[in-house]
């Protein structure tokens, strides 16, 4: 049964409203002023407060602000005199569901109460549906049935609902960013920002400004105030990708922000409070970096509250068939192929490969095979180009010779045409250009023959 708290200093109005709401099937309690209402809320959970705006002591708006701050999920409907519409509008702006002006009919106020509970029912239903949908799709981008990946999935579920810092370690291509996103999407911050920064891509001179922001004029080209990623991610999640690439001086500043929950923009002395969940990743041996004074041990302890180690693909070959099926469906949709199949022999062969580039390497390998296969429905071994997945120390296509961009482009086109037996449609797909553009290039380089 829904419980309503009526707050009004008019005894007779309280009595009328109590009788009216009880006749509608609600559980009803009342208070003569805001202070009494707050005392009741300490021991009595309520669903909706119906309160007068103008009361001695704590006003209706002040009461609502306290309730919104300290009691989540409690609705507010305000009663106001005809001449105080401005106050009612202010109450709506601050979170009230609706207002009713005196004098009012009982049918008017009971219909507004009914509408509030109907609205809340829709909100709760949407939350449940969203929760079910999220539960069904929570690992839709993370694929694996191996025991090692199941352990990773369990760790994600354990840590997602907390605010604990997470340190994800694994080789390049194992899906560390996907794990970070899954943690964010399964947590309570799902509706808040999720920002990512690759620490290896930031120039050392711009690290502090990128993370913590700067004031206008704080350095050359600082033409306006700039919020850093920590401010932009406030109440949400910030992924510090490859954090071991962060310079030591910045590590000290980051540690301070994590410890104190405050930051100072470059060129300012004002401290700004931030509430950010930090997830860090690394593909390097962190202990080796600490031993060689390249990474702060105290920062590592701060970040490594909940460690997750992602296994390389070669240690879980049983996941390769399910990954292949996942990627085939992905690329069928991307390239609009109705049917693509892969033989058991090729799957068995792929399961024996080491895949130093892990899942990313497998995905790239399969995408190339699908492009090479064109309209053929079955992927054959000839469609897989394994040698191109490894660094070519001999110089490969260009043999380490100096040449112009035009000459490089010409050689790449010729090589692709050779691989596709002069099939221009396939070659254009692989090169990422239209057939018309390829034809123009051939004419430009006089390669039509």
Q: List, in order of start, the domains of the chain with CATH numbers.
A: 3-128 (3.40.50.2300), 147-311 (3.40.50.300), 317-389 (1.10.8.60), 396-444 (1.10.10.60)
Specify burial of residue 191 (Cβ count, 10 A radius: 0-12, 13-18, 19+): exposed
164 HSE (CA, 13 A, CB side): 18
> What whole-number distance in Å separates Cα of residue 182 and Cα of residue 186?
6
93 closest CA partner among 78, 109, 108: 78
> What whole-number distance in Å separates Cα of residue 360 and Cα of residue 327?
11
413 HSE (CA, 13 A, CB side): 24
- Give the pLDDT confidence score for residue 140 in this predicted structure: 63
Angle at which helix 435-444 crosses helix 405-419, to 10 degrees, equals: 120
Specify burial of residue 230 (Cβ count, 10 A radius: 0-12, 13-18, 19+): buried
- Give the pLDDT confidence score for residue 138 in this predicted structure: 59
Alpha-carbon Rg for the chain in angstroms: 31
- Give the pLDDT confidence score for residue 396 in this predicted structure: 46
- Give the pLDDT confidence score for residue 390 in this predicted structure: 45
- Give the pLDDT confidence score for residue 202 in this predicted structure: 92
Tokens of 207: 């690290």
- Give the pLDDT confidence score for residue 324 in this predicted structure: 94
pLDDT digits (tens), the chain, 449 positions:
899 999 999 999 999 999 999 999 999 999 999 999 999 999 999 999 999 988 989 999 999 999 988 888 899 999 987 667 788 888 888 888 888 988 889 999 999 999 999 888 877 776 666 555 555 455 667 888 899 999 999 999 999 999 999 999 999 999 999 999 999 999 999 999 999 999 999 998 899 999 999 998 888 777 888 999 999 999 999 999 999 999 999 999 999 999 999 999 999 999 999 999 999 999 998 999 999 999 999 999 999 999 999 999 999 999 999 999 999 999 999 999 999 999 888 998 899 898 999 999 999 999 999 999 998 999 988 898 775 444 443 444 555 455 666 777 787 788 778 777 778 888 888 777 888 888 888 887 776 54
């Amino acid at each position: 049964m829904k419980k309503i708290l009526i707050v009004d200093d008019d005894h007779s109005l309280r009595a009328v409203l109590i009788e009216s709401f009880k006749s509608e099937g609600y559980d009803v309690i009342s208070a003569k002023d805001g202070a009494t209402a707050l005392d009741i809320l300490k021991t009595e959970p309520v669903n909706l407060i119906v309160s007068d705006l103008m009361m001695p002591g704590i006003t209706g708006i002040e009461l609502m602000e306290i309730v919104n701050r300290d009691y989540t999920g409690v609705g507010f409907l305000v009663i106001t005199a005809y001449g105080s519409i401005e106050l009612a509008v202010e109450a709506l702006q601050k979170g009230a569901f609706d207002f009713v002006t005196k004098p009012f009919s009982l049918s008017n106020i009971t219909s507004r109460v009914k509408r509030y509970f109907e609205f809340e029912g829709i909100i709760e239903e949407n939350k449940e549906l969203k929760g079910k949908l999220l539960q069904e799709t929570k690992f839709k981008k993370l694929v694996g049935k191996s025991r090692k990946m199941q352990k990773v999935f369990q760790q994600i579920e354990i840590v997602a609902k907390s605010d604990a810092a997470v340190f994800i370690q694994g080789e390049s291509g194992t899906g560390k960013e996907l794990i970070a996103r899954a943690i964010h999407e399964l947590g309570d911050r799902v509706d808040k920002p999720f920002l990512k920064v690759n620490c290896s891509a930031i120039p050392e001179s711009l690290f502090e400004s990128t993370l913590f922001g700067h004031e206008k004029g704080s350095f050359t080209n600082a033409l306006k105030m700039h919020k850093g990623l920590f401010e932009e991610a406030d109440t949400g999640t910030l992924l510090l990708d490859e954090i071991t690439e962060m310079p030591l001086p910045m590590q000290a500043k980051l540690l301070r922000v994590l410890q104190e929950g405050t930051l100072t923009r470059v060129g300012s002395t004002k401290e700004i409070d931030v509430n950010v969940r930090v997830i860090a990743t690394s593909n390097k041996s962190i202990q080796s970096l600490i031993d060689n004074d390249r990474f702060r041990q105290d920062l590592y302890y701060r970040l490594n509250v909940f460690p997750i180690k992602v296994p390389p693909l070669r240690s879980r070959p049983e996941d390769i068939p399910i990954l292949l099926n996942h990627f085939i469906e992905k690329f069928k949709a991307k390239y609009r192929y109705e049917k693509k199949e892969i033989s058991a022999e090729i799957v068995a062969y792929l399961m024996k490969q080491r895949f130093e580039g892990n899942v990313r390497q497998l995905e790239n390998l399969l995408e190339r095979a699908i492009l090479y296969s064109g309209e053929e429905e079955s992927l054959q071994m000839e469609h897989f180009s394994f040698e191109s997945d490894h660094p070519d120390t001999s110089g490969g296509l260009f043999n380490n010779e100096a040449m112009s961009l035009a000459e490089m482009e010409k050689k790449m086109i010729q090589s692709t045409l050779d691989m596709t037996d002069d099939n221009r449609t396939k070659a254009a797909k692989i090169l990422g250009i239209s057939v018309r553009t390829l034809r123009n290039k051939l004419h430009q380089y006089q390669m039509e023959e």
